[in-house]
Amino acid sequence: MALTFYWYPKCGTCRKAKKWLDDHHLGYEAVHIAENPPSRSELEELYKNSGLDIKKFFNTSGMKYRELGLKDKVKTLSDDELLDVLATDGMLIKRPILTDGHKVTVGFKEEDYEKSWIS
């Protein structure tokens, strides 16, 4: 199972997730989400495969989110418009994102990783 791990190395949650993956000997391709953010089409695929609300993909605690005043905008924009916004800056995207091309987890909770990534 080829995993893609979108992360930001300075993010504590991302580092915890990476350690979990390493501790469980799961191979992955690490992608720096700020330097190489997923494209608009990749984001759409991640969103559709995740089964999550599009709002779960926003890094709501990030500076960029606050600077752009997205708190109110996410309530009124369509999913397509929100995907367009997410595609403008990797720092707007909640991290880490882990995917095998079918399953997707956003953020890191050990129990979710156990359920999703340990067969």
- Name residue 3's beta-bridge partners: 28
Contact 113, 105 (CB under 8 A): yes
Predicted confidence (pLDDT) at residue 10 exceeds the cutoff of 70? yes
* Percent of the residues in the chain that have a pLDDT greater than 70, as a whole number: 98
Question: With left for phi above 0 and alpha for psi between -120 and 50, is residue 12 left, alpha or beta?
Answer: alpha
Q: Tell me which residue range forms the domain holding 51.
A: 3-117
CATH number at residue 37: 3.40.30.10
Whole-structure pTM value: 0.94
Number of domains, the chain: 1
The tokens of 81 are what?
A: 């418009």
CB within 8 Å of 37: residues ≥ 6 apart: 6, 87, 89, 90, 93
| Confidence band for 119, pLDDT divided at 50, 70 and 90 | low
